[in-house]
Amino acid sequence: MPTYKAPLRDMRFVLNELADPERLRALPGFEEMTADLIDPVLEEAAKICEEVLLPLNRSGDEEGCTIENGVVRTPKGFKEAYQAFSDGGWGGLSSDPEDGGQGLPQTIGMVVEEMICSANLAFGMYPGLTHGAYAAIKKHGNAEQKALYLPKMVNGEWSGTMCLTEPQCGTDLGLIRTKAVPSDDGSYRITGNKIFISAGEHDLAANIIHLVLAKLPDAPPGTRGISLFIVPKFLPTEDGKPGQRNGAVCTALEHKMGIKASATCAMSFDDAKGWLVGKPHQGLRAMFTMMNAARLGVGVQGLGLAEVSYQNAVAYARDRLQGRGIDGVKAKDKPADPILVHPDVRRMLLTMRAQAEGCRALCAITATELDVATRHPDAQVKQDADDFVQLMTPIIKAMFTDFGWDATAMGMQVFGGHGYIRDHGMEQFVRDARIAQLYEGTNGIQALDLVGRKMPQHAGRYLRSFFHPVLAYIEQHEENEAMAEFILPLSKAFGRLQQATAEVARRGFTDPFEAGAAATEYLRLFGLTALAWMWARMAEAALKHPDDETGFYKAKLATARFYMQRMLPQTSALVACIMAGGETLKQFEDAAF
């Protein structure tokens, strides 16, 4: 059975020594957010994840969800765990105290999310979707909707969903067929079929609040004609209790590769009563609030799985005896050396570690900017922070989830054939990791978002939110000898990114196919450079502790070196691909595929 210990030491490092805690504390409402307040929260979160959620991860996978006459049941133990989770206030950790939330920074919320994803990704889907729906209603709902729904979603009594996908409509939401017809009382009747709806039906909460995309009768065609509706499973009574059953039912559960304890539902809306959120035909904008938050959350899923896979792979590599060290016997008293001694196993472990720690750092930095973008009193500072978050969102979603897949596959590889056998639980991590590359917009779509929207928007303003601070950082440390081994490779990768950016922008301007052809490699190049910036900064922080006896900072420096020397050079190959252009993709005859 896999084990998991929340990496609290590393989490504290990124929160206190890498991200800027003063920047957080300067925000209105966060003045008291000192380590003294945050540490116990992290420790309690670790406890519930390690002691309550982790033990249900395997059984949840084995048992899955079941459906009988439209009633969906989650696996044994999930109900109790959900209750404990909600009672502990974990669902509303970063929600507004006005709605009953704990009002903690989203930076802390993301760290806790990582723990949840490591311990039990399928469980995390239920509060995760609820939090996304909360964010959308909070931003776009009217006062009455906020008062009715938000407190119950924050305390976990009611849960939430996002209902976008239909059989004919996945990436291209302009193809939505679900209809919304106005009623005399100001509500709407919603009719249509949605598929793949996470947490669409289950037995954890007393009510389920669906956020549904649908088209009004006078809707303009395409994505400009989509509106957003609140459609509760039970229509709330006057006193806010779940009342009459609404026409929103689960018709089937999808059978799928992983996250089996997360109910993925085919939903039928049959003249269901719903209420418009925000303005007519502006539903996609409102839903994007939810999707942007969710995209960062999905990125964290990749990070969480990379971490738990790494931890288990290290433990196994210490124990498993096979062969002798290529450079001599290491464990003379044993019949063979632990596989930890083999260079290829060390390569895999260090890759996973560098991925997880690098992503954790980038996540903390981005989440801090998210808090600044949400709360800072100065409009310009707010906008600058938001630009950075906008730019990083597709990178975090796509690169972190690709790493989640890589790292879980490597974790399995470290176990050899035993990783493929169910007993050790490593194959579940692989299966669970795969979905994160697909939902919330496939990773290919994230790459298009980066080159097609984020890159050109506001004449490159989003790009500047990254390019300027990285350049300033390189210049600041150029003369620092101790940092040279980190700054030089960062500077080279940064140069490659600048070169590729100019080329993709130039080519994409005359031929959008060219931008599309470069998108995935460009996103990875960007992400690896962003991680190099993180690793340089982590090395800088570690160099401040030359006398550290715990080994923590020494290991940090060693991982930074590994990243710079063994992972960052991938940027050269990526630039070569990007520079080669899209002709080979374009010219291949369709019929020849």
Ligand X SMILES: Cc1cc2nc3c(=O)[nH]c(=O)nc-3n(C[C@H](O)[C@H](O)[C@H](O)COP(=O)(O)OP(=O)(O)OC[C@H]3O[C@@H](n4cnc5c(N)ncnc54)[C@H](O)[C@@H]3O)c2cc1C
Residues carrying an active site annotation: 440
CA distance 292 to 212: 17
The residue whose Cβ lies closest to ligand X is 170
Which residue in the set 155, 193, 442, 457 belongs to the binding site for ligand X (CB under 6 A)? Answer: 442
- CA atoms within 13 A of residue 394's CA, in its CB half-sphere: 28
CA distance 279 to 225: 11
- Relative to beta strand 227-232, strand 207-214 is antiparallel
Residue of 37, 41, 36, 47 lying closest to 6 (CA atoms): 47
For the bound state, the minimum distance from the C-beta of residue 443 to ligand X, rounded and expressed in Å, comes to 7
- As a whole number of Å, the end-to-end CA separation of the chain is 44
For the bound state, the minimum distance from the C-beta of residue 63 to ligand X, rounded and expressed in Å, comes to 17
Counting contacts by CB under 6 A, is residue 58 touching ligand X? no
User: In the complex with ligand X, which residue's Cβ is closer, 256 or 346?
Assistant: 256
Which residue in the set 405, 439, 522, 535 belongs to the binding site for ligand X (CB under 6 A)? Answer: 439
Which residue in the set 264, 292, 301, 559 belongs to the binding site for ligand X (CB under 6 A)? Answer: 264
Counting contacts by CB under 6 A, is residue 522 touching ligand X? no
At residue 376, the 3 state secondary structure works out as: coil
For the bound state, the minimum distance from the C-beta of residue 530 to ligand X, rounded and expressed in Å, comes to 22
**Total residues contacting ligand X (rule CB under 6 A)?**
19
Counting contacts by CB under 6 A, is residue 298 touching ligand X? no
Stretch that binds ligand X, among 39-47, 443-451, 472-480, 490-498 (CB under 6 A): 443-451
Stretch that binds ligand X, among 11-19, 100-108, 195-203, 318-326 (CB under 6 A): 195-203
Q: Do residues 221 and 152 make contact, with C-beta atoms less than 8 angstroms apart?
A: no
DSSP 406-469: HHHHHHHHHTTHHHHSGGGSHHHHHHHHHGGGTSSS-HHHHHHIIIIIITTGGGGHHHHHHHHH
Stretch that binds ligand X, among 18-26, 57-65, 432-440, 572-580 (CB under 6 A): 432-440
CA distance 437 to 138: 27
H runs (alpha helix) in 461-567: 461-477, 484-510, 512-543, 552-562
Hey, which residues does 53 pair with through a beta bridge?
A: none
Q: In the window 165-184, what residues touch ligand X (CB under 6 A)?
A: 165, 170-171
CA distance 7 to 114: 10
Counting contacts by CB under 6 A, is residue 448 touching ligand X? yes
Q: Could you say which DSSP state residue 567 is in?
A: I
Counting contacts by CB under 6 A, is residue 128 touching ligand X? no
Which residue in the set 5, 139, 256, 554 belongs to the binding site for ligand X (CB under 6 A)? Answer: 256
Which residue in the set 49, 72, 308, 435 belongs to the binding site for ligand X (CB under 6 A)? Answer: 435
Stretch that binds ligand X, among 22-30, 105-113, 180-188, 441-449 (CB under 6 A): 441-449
Q: Could you say which DSSP state residue 569 is in?
A: T
Counting contacts by CB under 6 A, is residue 198 touching ligand X? yes
Which residue in the set 4, 196, 473, 563 belongs to the binding site for ligand X (CB under 6 A)? Answer: 196
Stretch that binds ligand X, among 135-143, 339-347, 381-389, 438-446 (CB under 6 A): 438-446
Q: Do residues 269 and 181 make contact, with C-beta atoms less than 8 angstroms apart?
A: no
User: In the complex with ligand X, which residue's Cβ is closer, 189 or 256?
Assistant: 256
Stretch that binds ligand X, among 401-409, 436-444, 542-550, 579-587 (CB under 6 A): 436-444
**CA-to-CA separations, 118 to 64, 218, 256, 432, in angstroms, rounded:** 18, 46, 20, 11
Burial 156-171 (b: 16+ CB within 10 A, else e): bebbbbbbbbbeebbe
Counting contacts by CB under 6 A, is residue 197 touching ligand X? yes
CA distance 267 to 193: 6
Residue 126 contacts by C-beta under 8 Å, 6 or more apart in sequence? Answer: 82, 159, 199, 202, 204, 205, 262
Which residue in the set 438, 471, 558, 579 belongs to the binding site for ligand X (CB under 6 A)? Answer: 438
For the bound state, the minimum distance from the C-beta of residue 308 to ligand X, rounded and expressed in Å, comes to 19
Q: In the window 474-513, what residues touch ligand X (CB under 6 A)?
A: none
For the bound state, the minimum distance from the C-beta of residue 446 to ligand X, rounded and expressed in Å, comes to 9
Which residue in the set 38, 115, 162, 395 belongs to the binding site for ligand X (CB under 6 A)? Answer: 162
Q: Do residues 397 and 363 make contact, with C-beta atoms less than 8 angstroms apart?
A: no
Which residue in the set 280, 444, 452, 495 belongs to the binding site for ligand X (CB under 6 A)? Answer: 444
Q: Which residues bind ligand X (CB under 6 A)?
A: 162-165, 170-171, 196-198, 256, 264, 435, 438-439, 441-442, 444-445, 448
